[in-house]
Copies of this chain bind each other. A is one copy, B any other.
Amino acid sequence: MNRISIITIGDELLIGQVIDTNSAWMAQQLNQVGFWVSRRLAIGDGRRDILRALEEESARAEIILITGGLGPTADDITKPVLCEYFHTPLVVNEEALENVKNIFTKILNRPLIERNLKQAEVPASCRVIQNKRGTAPGMLFEKEGKIFVSMPGVPHEMKGMMTQDVIPFLQSRFSTHFISHRTLLTAGVGESTLADHIEEFESALPPEIKLAYLPNYGMVRLRLTLNISEAGSWESRLDQLFADLKARVSEWLVTDEDIPLQQAIGKLLIGKKQTMATAESCTGGYVAALITGVPGSSAYFKGSIIAYDNEVKKNLLGVDPRVLDQQGAVSEETVRAMVSGAIRALGTDYAVATSGILGPGGGTEEKPVGTVWIAAGNAQEMLTQKLWLRFDRQRNTELAGANVLNLLRRFILAPPAKGG
Contacts and interface: CB of A to CB of B under 8 A. Distances in A.
Contact of A347 (B40, B110, B211, B311): B311
A291 interface: yes
Contacts of A155: 395
A41 B38 contact: no
Nearest to A212: B75
B346 A312 contact: yes
A32 to B, nearest CB: 9
Contact of A311 (B74, B302, B308, B395): B302
Contacts of A23: 16, 42
A308 B312 contact: no
Contacts of A289: 283-286, 288-289, 397
Given A285-B289, A288-B284, A295-B359, A36 B14 contact: yes
A52 to B, nearest CB: 9
A93 interface: no
A236 interface: no
Contact of A308 (B303, B360, B397): B303
Contacts of A223: 12, 17
A19 interface: yes
A133 interface: yes
Interface string A291-306: 1110111100111111
A316 interface: yes
A203 to B, nearest CB: 8
A113 B192 contact: yes
Nearest to A27: B16
A292 B302 contact: no
A210 interface: yes
A161 to B, nearest CB: 14
Interface of A: 11-21, 23-29, 31, 36-45, 49, 56, 71-75, 108, 110-111, 113-116, 133, 154-156, 159, 181, 190-193, 195-196, 202, 210-216, 221, 223, 225, 258, 278, 280, 283-289, 291-293, 295-298, 301-309, 311-312, 315-316, 345-347, 359-361, 390-395, 397
30 contacts: A12-B212, A14-B27, A15-B27, A15-B28, A15-B225, A17-B221, A39-B43, A39-B49, A41-B42, A71-B191, A72-B192, A73-B213, A115-B192, A156-B390, A156-B391, A283-B289, A284-B288, A284-B291, A284-B301, A285-B285, A285-B286, A285-B289, A288-B288, A289-B289, A292-B308, A296-B361, A297-B308, A298-B309, A309-B346, A316-B346
